[in-house]
Chain A
Amino acid sequence: MTPVIHAERLSKHFGAFHAVDGIDLAVPAGEIYGLLGPNGSGKTTLIRLLIGLLRPTAGHVTLLGQKMPAKTVLSQVGYMTQAMALYDDLSAAENVAFFAAMCDPARGTDRARIAEVLELVELTDRAGSLTRTLSGGMKQRLSLACALVHRPRLLLLDEPTVGVDPQLRVTFWAYFRQLATAGVTIIISSHVMDEAERCDRLGFMRHGRLLAEGSAAELRALAHVPTLEEAFLHFAGSQT
């Protein structure tokens, strides 16, 4: 079976700065893949390259069997940015409805689906509130709802749990797992190591490169250390 995400020798250079430097990536359907690395390691640039928001300096990307950049494939992709990209002057429900209609103009006004995702992120009682009146955590949830509403086959989540309280984080992860079981492929970037444990597979990133790939247990075993943190340091050290 062809992987949902397939990237070959992917690079993005901004002048002399190599934000992403020759990354090969293959993620099969239904996998939760975690991109793990410190701030500035190139996680966001990689995600933007995968979705076609940036043109690669070298290499190429195939999403769901289609060579990127391709607008049409984006109707099956959900994207959650690090910044809460929402319209402050629209209500919560209007934000969800807007992104639903942009991704799937034919079925965008499916009210039942909009109610369903709002329920999922526990915002049903705030559906009519203007987004600017919502708290930070609520906006984060709403942002996720906007990324999910059109039932994407691939989810790219850029640090989705930053600033989310622990209880909600558990809820989020339970739902991610549920989606993956149903065949949705998920890429999650994070710099929090304990989250990484929940991913099927991890990629350690540093200076725009993938240092190592594997499940959390594999990576720990490979580095002969008890924690992921130490494993990361082990691979980071061997790079230089």
Chain B
Amino acid sequence: MNSKRIITLARRVVRQIAHDRRTVALVILAPMLMLTLGAILFRLEPARIPLGVVNEDEGVSLPGAGALAAGQRIVDALTASDAFTVTLLQGSEIETRLRAGTVEGVVVLPRDFSAALLRAPDRRAEIDLRLEGSNPTRSRQITARVTEAAMQTLASLAAGSAPGQATSLPITVATTYLYTNESMDAFDFIAPMYIAFLSFFFVFLLTCVAFLRERSQGTMERLLATPATQLEIILGYLGGLSLFALIQVAAIMGFTIWVLKIHYLGNLTLLLLMITLLALVGVGMGILASTFARNEFQVIQFIPIVIIPQGLLAGLIWPVADLPPLLRPLPYIMPLTYANNALGDIMLRGLGMAAIWPDLLILVLFALVFTLLAARAVRREVA
């Protein structure tokens, strides 16, 4: 094996890509565009939901402690919440308002709401929530925010009221998070896996097309007629495309950190190492796949076979553990699964090499196996 020859090949691959400015722009700018869209969508603050409130609560007067108007306190809390625009309604208006769409839900606090809270033995009060119901996501959102407001109010009531009643109120809200950083938003959780996926995707495509051209333009034949061995050729490609992938990943990550202002990424070096290793696997897979393609259109056909299943099943969108039993074995043959697993450890849990080495090892194995298979596939060119 001659390292000079490998470097020459790697440099040629980089130079070739660099001369093709449109491809460079695509490979670097397209992920940025996709990440920007992702950032916008994942950080979307829902507009205030129009909510009607019918407060029929009559309250209770407590001997020696004044009056309790729990219903009014909940109305105040809903009004103060940034999730809703609250309109006070009469009981008779509920159906017409919901039908007209001027409110998306109506909270009804019954006449004995406060009284029920104090009534032994169960001390429970019920909030009646009427929803329009055509959009399940919106319904869940309203239910969650109303419940949240009610719980908070009742908790503050329990804390603020006279002793005796205080301990008897049935509400305690306690939330603790093990790993989560307070300032993280939904985009922060998905960004590194998103970067890994996009980089893998583009490196795979780039390799596939570059190698396909090598064969269709006859330069593979010329290369094999030089003293260069098949392994040298593959290593040259790995070197050149990995270097390119490193540049691409660095550019995309820089963009994500400084322009999209992601909050937390964990250990950057480990992150870069992981994503670059994944890119290496992408190069090997690309070379292997290209031997099964006769033209560029057939390369496109690999996207639904090789790329999209990994995007769906490898833990980027749904956790692998949540998959139905039938699909669960599939993620384990996908390199992206291990990359996503390690990326989660690095950036969500702040863990280091001690936690990610098994994933790292498996990715190295993937890279090795694909490299050898690719070298074999090139050897088959010599019939």
Q: Which residues of A contact B (CB under 8 A)?
A: 51-55, 69, 71-72, 74-75, 77, 79, 81, 83-91, 94, 98-99, 101-103, 105-106, 108, 130, 146
- Does the CB pair B15–A90 fall under 8 Å? yes
Which of A51, A72, A91, A102 has most B Cβ within 10 Å?
A102
Cα-based distance from A106 to B226 in the complex (angstroms): 14
Give the shortest distance, in Å, between B2 (CB) and chain A (any CB): 5
What are 14 A-B residue pairs whose CB atoms fall within 8 Å in the complex? Answer: A54-B382, A71-B227, A74-B225, A81-B218, A83-B218, A84-B218, A85-B217, A85-B221, A89-B20, A90-B16, A94-B12, A99-B226, A102-B228, A105-B5
Residues of A within 8 A of B224 (CB): 53
Q: Contact residues of B with A, CB < 8 Å?
A: 2, 4-5, 8-9, 12, 15-17, 19-20, 213, 217-219, 221-229, 382-383
Query: A87, B227: Cβ atoms under 8 Å?
Result: no
Q: Determine if A87 and B12 form an interchain contact, defined as CB atoms under 8 angstroms apart.
A: yes
| Cβ contact of A86, chosen from B2, B217, B229, B383, cutoff 8 A | B217
- Inter-chain CB contacts under 8 Å: number: 79
Contacting pair A55 B382 (CB below 8 A): yes
Q: CA–CA, A108 to B2, complex, Å? A: 13
Which residues from chain A contact B223 at a C-beta distance below 8 Å?
A: 102
* Chain B interface helix/strand/loop/mixed: helix
Chain B, Cβ-Cβ closest to A100? B8
Chain A nearest CB from B380 CB (Å) reads 11
- CB-nearest residue of chain B relative to A78? B225
Per DSSP, are chain A's interface residues mostly helix, strand or loop, or mixed?
loop
Q: Which of A77, A83, A130 has the most CB of B within 10 A?
A: A83
Residues of A close to B225: CB separation below 8 A: 51-53, 74, 77, 79
A108→B8 contact, CB < 8 A: yes
CB-CB under 8 A from B9, the residues of chain A are 102
Q: List the B residue with the shortest CB-CB distance to A79.
A: B225
Other A-B pairs beyond A102-B227, A103-B227, 19, CB < 8 Å: A53-B221, A75-B226, A84-B218, A85-B218, A86-B217, A86-B219, A87-B12, A88-B217, A89-B17, A89-B19, A89-B20, A90-B15, A101-B8, A102-B8, A102-B9, A105-B2, A105-B4, A108-B4, A108-B8
How far, in angstroms, from A81 to B221 measured CA to CA in the complex?
8
Chain A residues, CB < 8 A from B20:
89
CB < 8 Å neighbour of A103 from B12, B219, B226, B382: B226
Chain B residues within 8 Å of A77, by CB: 225
Q: Which one, B8, B12, B219, B383, contacts A85 given CB within 8 A? A: B219
Tell me which residues across on chain B come within 8 A of A53, comparing CB atoms: 221, 224-225, 382
- A residues less than 8 Å from B228 (CB atoms): 71, 102
Rounded to whole angstroms, the CA-CA distance of A89 and B12 in the bound complex is 10
B19 neighbours in A (Cβ, 8 Å): 89-91, 130
A102 to B233, CA, bound (A): 10
In the bound complex, CA of A153 to CA of B221 (Å): 20
Shortest beta-carbon distance, B222 to chain A, in Å?
4
Q: Would A89 and B4 count as touching, CB distance under 8 A?
A: no
Given A53-B382, A74-B227, A101 contacting B222 (CB threshold 8 A): no
Q: Give the 4 A-B residue pairs with the shortest CB-CB distance, closest first.
A: A85-B218, A105-B4, A83-B218, A85-B222
